Structure 1
């Protein structure tokens, strides 16, 4: 990176809620947000928005008749974007770019429209425009009246952190001064759950205290489950006085696949992305890593192997939020970034409750956030706590 980039605002909507205080309060609790729901006769653990958050989405739909036809993945993103620009004091500004992506896009609507087509051999008028991936950023742009570029993309589960990379590229190229970045996902649908179960990576343990065993290196079965939500961050070039955190390093890598969802035993992609993000940073300066760690046996272990290879005996404190809020696919990276920023703000490390943590940091000044998706596309972001001026 040429220069640090400031994160001047961040907001989310997830199973943890919508305000910074309620999200942090729930992070400090050792409970998870899992409920068991019925999907066409099959039970599955999921993490849904709470009732208050769901009501906010319903209010949003009532504001504009066009919003009633939009998928949840779009509505979540619009809601988070509105609050992010408030957090960054961008209200009344329109000259910024947008890159908010999604792994699956309008999953719920697509399934509804496809079912309708199979039953009637006809398609609804809005079935095409409301299911395109471009919906996500374009509706944010419409809602906020922004004048900059608006980009939607899918790079599976590393989508949100790739949006961060793209935003930084636009900023440091001089083509834009401000960029809104993030990811959104609404994957709690019968077909999506069935797809994950078909891969045999979905959690099943109703009687377990923690159905998802992310970061449990000794687990013998896959335990990933899905959550829904969105997160959006405001990026500005340079070090701003109102910066919540600085992005001081970025890294990315793609590794060769042996099959569609593979990752190498040593997670070569993570090794390269973390090394790129670190560059000349002293390993001992990194206080924590927020892992991607979705709760799969091979995926979790591969990321841990990569960390051991990069850091050797200097492994920082490790944590993840997947055990608590599920895997939100394309939104997961930005929600991990939010956790990292909250930990730095409050100077408190959030542990995984069923893990024996060998290291609890006394300070949190630099944190790495990881994400990787199907396709072996890894991203690592080095976040740094800005120095406070007297």
Structure 2
């Protein structure tokens, strides 16, 4: 049902979504998480890497000749995009090769170069903080050793190859393929751009989201050099948003992609089932001297949240829950909560997070947080964190609107509002 506030407005709806993370291709468990999904990287630090079934899906993608040389970041995006298009019903079910495979809670498409989409053109907008991290490091290592690089080195490591391969895999013909990089808010840059294009009539359907595969020795060394990495063991839930000291930042890999459509007010009113609506995407920036820090009161968070609320024609009192950016760093967690108090007042909405389940996935983190928010809206539940924190453990009222935060190095932040209508 469309309420009076929006009955005359067109809306951006989420027709389908897909994800891959340390939880596999599945959504978070409805009850308590049975065990920590984190593992120990060869460098000795905890990481949130893919479980075996999802890893098998990545390996299956690599069997296709066109995909053998692709970076892991791209392959994760393909897996998530395939789920999103399948859930949206944008494919006709014909596979060039391969089949839809179910392994319990997870379903994935194997050995299929395209989805044979029935809708065209389809636009694509994908965010990634670092892009083809693994391949870039491999090519650079080869250059240092041999003084030369393969012909494919440049095209396989440009940021644009993320969106272009998602578009290729989806069978796109004639639409835009856009890649975005704005550190850890990259996915919301992609989703905000997609929403703007849809509202402007420049596209009718979009695949938009974020992806990141940063679990390389060099990237992990960079995170450790900042002094924020968690000292906790992998089995001991090492990523702990809102828990205070010590810092519990843990790097993860993953992707989430959304199938977006723009519906007129009449089309939205004619829908018979509930709609997930991307109601607003706002951005903030604060010019500060430190490009790794942020102001104590999170000014960029405040700007982004207020803009997202304004786009959605909502007040802070209309928000039932917030999925935090909250990476587990004491300063970052505190600044975000200060920003929340500035926007919402002392009585905050329910605070939620999925980073304790999937780690911080950099450019994919905002998309995975939005996917988590959609899951909460649909099920009205989430697993409680198994450590002392300020995260909510259960809903005390129906949750219909969730605000999702993201922020990254450089002073940027982004927020999105998703509604169940």
TM bucket (normalised to shorter chain) is over 0.9
- CA distance in 2 between counterparts of 1:213 and 1:83 reads 29
- CA distance in 2 between counterparts of 1:157 and 1:336 reads 12
User: Contact 1:102–1:330 (CA<8 Å) still a contact in 2?
Assistant: yes
User: Contact 2:242–2:390 (CA<8 Å) still a contact in 1?
Assistant: no
Does 2:15 align with 1:24? no
Name the CA shift for 1:24/1:205 in 2 (closer, same or farther; >3 Å): closer
1:30 Cα deviation after fit: 5.9
**1:258-337 map, 5 Å:** 258-279=289-310, 280-337=313-370
Aligned to 1:83: 83
**Cα RMSD (Å):** 1.9
User: Contact 1:6–1:243 (CA<8 Å) still a contact in 2?
Assistant: no
Does 2:275 align with 1:249? no
Further displaced range: 172-181 or 249-258 = 249-258
Name the CA shift for 1:194/1:207 in 2 (closer, same or farther; >3 Å): closer
- CA distance in 2 between counterparts of 1:28 and 1:245 reads 25
Name the CA shift for 1:376/1:243 in 2 (closer, same or farther; >3 Å): farther
- CA distance in 1 between counterparts of 2:210 and 2:348 reads 29
Does 2:193 align with 1:160? no
1:159 Cα deviation after fit: 0.5
Aligned to 1:196: 223
- CA distance in 2 between counterparts of 1:374 and 1:176 reads 31
1:357 Cα deviation after fit: 5.1
**What is the SS of the residue equivalent to 2:215?**
coil
User: Contact 2:18–2:258 (CA<8 Å) still a contact in 1?
Assistant: yes
User: Contact 1:349–1:361 (CA<8 Å) still a contact in 2?
Assistant: no
Aligned to 1:11: 18
1:222 Cα deviation after fit: 1.8
User: Contact 1:250–1:380 (CA<8 Å) still a contact in 2?
Assistant: yes
For this pair of structures, how many residues does the alignment match? 377
Aligned to 2:256: 231
Decide which of 31, 38, 49 is 1:34's aligned counterpart. Answer: 38
Aligned to 2:129: 103
1:209 Cα deviation after fit: 2.6
1:284 Cα deviation after fit: 2.7
User: Contact 2:28–2:382 (CA<8 Å) still a contact in 1?
Assistant: no
Q: Deviations over 1:45-86 (max 9, x none)?
A: 001101000101111111x21210000001111121111111
**1:75-154 map, 5 Å:** 75-91=75-91, 92-146=118-172, 147-154=174-181
Decide which of 376, 380, 387 is 2:411's aligned counterpart. Answer: 376
1:259 Cα deviation after fit: 0.9
1:93 Cα deviation after fit: 1.6
Q: Structure 1 regions of 5+ residues with no counterpart?
A: none
1:380 Cα deviation after fit: 0.9
